[in-house]
């Protein structure tokens, strides 16, 4: 069947646009796919072994995933983010990208009209090669491109297009350009005087990085403050690690959470191992408090150490006018969510023990085996860092690392001025 001239023309224009972008800022994308991601390589090999017919072309990709060792904050990130903004200006001037018609789910092997638009969308943003086909079958090329898109937007990387991926695919290019421009100033401010060794929390990404000499030594998934109780910006120094800590319930949580809970469940404090003290450190029973008033805010509520403790087994302390800190949590399931905005301002850290090893690396008497032993003992012990480590909590929703990968996160606290596209969060 002969080609439709109009269709051929549209394809030519699309490939020309994608090619012009790839020839400049997006050129670093054109490397071996999965070179830095063993899991992605394994999945590609698995796809290559599938007997799905000639339409499922599993040839090698040349578009790579974000590189795990590159920190969010660095002077070079400022430069590449400025370059990305310039390229997005050109992209927007050419009409941006099409809206992908949402459907219940798109995954490897599906044939659907939306796949045609999905291909165009992924080509324009540099996630899919322009010569990777143009059919309506969700093939292995598209799956790898979707995985890369998901990685760049901080959502579950499974190669399946569901609501969360559709939401981000359909944020207009002009909105992404606004985010890039807005974040250039934030990046410049945050990277002006970076030390060689520091901890960074990117609040919108709900992620922690421990950085040594411009390289991420460890990266941790985090849970940060919900929009109604946001995590603040922080510029401080970590001075102490508290093992098996008590948790003193903040007055704000007593007022907003504890009083309503006790009205419904009088046994809550006992079940959660939380004790009540007056101003003279005398312990009271819950029955001595009038829970139908604000009387409880006049007392201290202290949760005993243990696996049930809201801070888990570790608290990372630094001076903060907002009284925030970083800590472990017994609610490990929260780290599996895409939208990890569930705290009252503090930051919960996945695999926090690994971060503590790194923080206490230069503190005599605190090798990893000692840290493990203290945690296992359940004993309340503090470890002061021999040299305080700078810590920064920042609000970065768009950035481009030196490998040429542009990343975006939801504007969860509505600081970017992007209106209805503030966040895809339904919580």
Spatial separation of the C-alpha atoms in residues 225 and 228, rounded to whole Å: 8
- Quote the strand ranges of 229-365, DSSP E: 234-243, 247-248, 274-277, 283-284, 300-303, 314-317, 326-327, 341-343, 347-349
Give Cα 178 distance to the centre of its chain. Answer: 20
- Pair 304, 330: CB distance under 8 Å: no
Q: CB 103: neighbour CB atoms within 10 A?
A: 14
379: left (phi over 0), alpha (psi -120 to 50) or beta: beta
**Three-state DSSP class for 349?**
strand
In the 8-state DSSP scheme, what is residue 257?
I
Longest distance between any two alpha carbons in the chain, whole Å: 89
- Pair 353, 218: CB distance under 8 Å: no
Specify which residues 241 forms β-bridges with.
Answer: 316, 383
Burial label for 7, CB within 10 Å (0-12, 13-18, 19+), is exposed
- Pair 379, 243: CB distance under 8 Å: yes
Which residue among the candidates 112, 153, 220, 346 is catalytic per the annotation?
Answer: 346
User: Which residues contact residue 44 at a Cβ distance below 8 angstroms, ignoring those fewer than 6 apart?
Assistant: 33, 34, 58, 60, 61, 140, 144
Q: Which residue in 219, 269, 263 sits closest to 69, CA to CA? A: 219
What backbone torsions phi and psi does residue 149 show, to the nearest 5 degrees?
-60, -45
- Pair 42, 418: CB distance under 8 Å: no
The packing angle between helices 113-124 and 140-152, to 10°, is 50
153 is catalytic: no
Side-chain half-sphere CA neighbours of 14 within 13 A: 26
193 is catalytic: no
Burial state string for 121-146 with b = 16 or more CB within 10 A and e = fewer than 16? bbbbbbbbbbebebeebbbbbbbbbb
The catalytic residue positions are 327, 346
């Amino acid at each position: 069947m002969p080609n439709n001239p109009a269709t051929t023309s549209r394809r030519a224009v699309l490939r020309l646009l994608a090619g012009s972008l790839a020839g400049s800022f997006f050129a670093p994308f054109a490397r071996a796919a999965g070179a830095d991601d063993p899991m992605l390589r394994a999945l590609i090999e698995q796809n290559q072994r599938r007997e799905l017919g000639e339409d499922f072309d599993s040839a090698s990709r040349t578009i790579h995933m974000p590189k795990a060792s590159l920190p969010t904050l660095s002077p070079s990130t400022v430069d590449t983010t400025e370059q990305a903004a310039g390229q997005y200006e050109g992209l927007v001037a050419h009409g941006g990208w099409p809206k992908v018609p949402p459907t219940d789910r798109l995954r490897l092997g599906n044939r659907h009209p939306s796949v045609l638009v999905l291909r165009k969308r992924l080509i324009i943003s540099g996630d899919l090669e322009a010569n990777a086909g143009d059919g309506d079958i969700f093939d292995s090329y598209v799956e790898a491109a979707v995985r890369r898109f998901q990685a760049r937007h901080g959502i579950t990387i499974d190669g399946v297009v569901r609501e969360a991926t559709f939401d981000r695919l359909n944020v207009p290019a002009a909105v992404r350009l606004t985010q890039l421009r807005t974040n250039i100033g934030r990046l410049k401010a945050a990277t002006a005087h970076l030390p060689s060794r520091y901890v960074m929390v990117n609040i919108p990404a709900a992620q922690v990085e421990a950085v040594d000499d411009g390289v991420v030594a460890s990266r941790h998934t985090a849970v940060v403050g919900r929009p109604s109780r946001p995590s603040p910006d922080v510029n401080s120094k970590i001075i102490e690690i508290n093992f098996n800590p008590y948790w003193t319930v903040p007055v704000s949580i007593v007022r907003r959470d504890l009083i309503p809970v006790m009205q419904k469940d009088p046994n809550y404090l006992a079940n959660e191992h939380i004790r009540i003290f007056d101003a003279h450190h005398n312990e009271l029973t819950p029955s001595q408090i009038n829970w139908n008033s604000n009387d409880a805010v006049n007392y201290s509520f202290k949760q005993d150490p243990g696996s049930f403790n809201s801070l888990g087994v570790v608290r990372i302390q630094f001076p903060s006018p907002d009284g925030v800190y970083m800590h472990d949590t017994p609610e490990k399931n929260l780290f599996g969510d895409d939208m990890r905005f569930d705290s009252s301002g503090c930051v919960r850290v996945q695999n926090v023990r690994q971060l503590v090893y790194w923080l206490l690396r230069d503190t005599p008497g605190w090798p990893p085996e000692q840290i493990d032993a203290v945690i296992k003992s359940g004993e309340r012990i503090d470890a002061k860092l021999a040299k305080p480590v700078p810590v920064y909590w920042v609000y970065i929703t768009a950035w481009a690392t030196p490998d040429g990968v542009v990343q975006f996160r939801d504007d969860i606290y509505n600081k970017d001025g992007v209106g209805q596209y503030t966040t895809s969060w339904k919580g």
